[in-house]
A = this chain, B = another copy of it.
């Protein structure tokens, strides 16, 4: 991907509502050129969408946790993501290397709600769970860095 597109992506990652006018100013292009590029980035799937960043405490979901899951029957087909998709408390599902097969990130209202959720997870996907409760979140959703091309180098000088 090219320099200007990278810059646009970085800017939008930082502020998803930035206007095309501002993007044009930042990139030195005309408004319509930027518009064209953003549309293309969206169509290509580089920009997947836009979201408001919410304070989960403020909306009644103050408890965040990571739940690692492991199938109880290793021979069974592994369709945990689909089996768990209906649980809206699950914000993300990552397949991972290591002892466990998936790591889920969940948001719930209370310890009781977490307990309920864990039961639902175990029942829905036939897995055992290991839960790591988040105590606080110093930062999250940090946008990708300003833009830095890897710079192919033959010598070892940085």
Contacts and interface: CB of A to CB of B under 8 A. Distances in A.
Interface of A: 1, 6, 9, 12-17, 44-56, 58-61, 64, 66, 81, 85, 88-98, 102-103, 107, 109, 132-146, 150
B55 A135 contact: no
Main secondary structure of the interface of A (DSSP, over half): mixed
Contacts of A50: 15-17, 50-53
20 contacts: A1-B60, A15-B49, A16-B52, A45-B55, A46-B58, A50-B52, A51-B51, A60-B150, A61-B144, A81-B139, A90-B142, A91-B142, A93-B139, A95-B135, A95-B137, A96-B135, A97-B132, A97-B135, A98-B133, A103-B134
A14 to B, nearest CB: 7
Contacts of A97: 132-135
Contacts of A44: 58
A135 B93 CA distance: 11
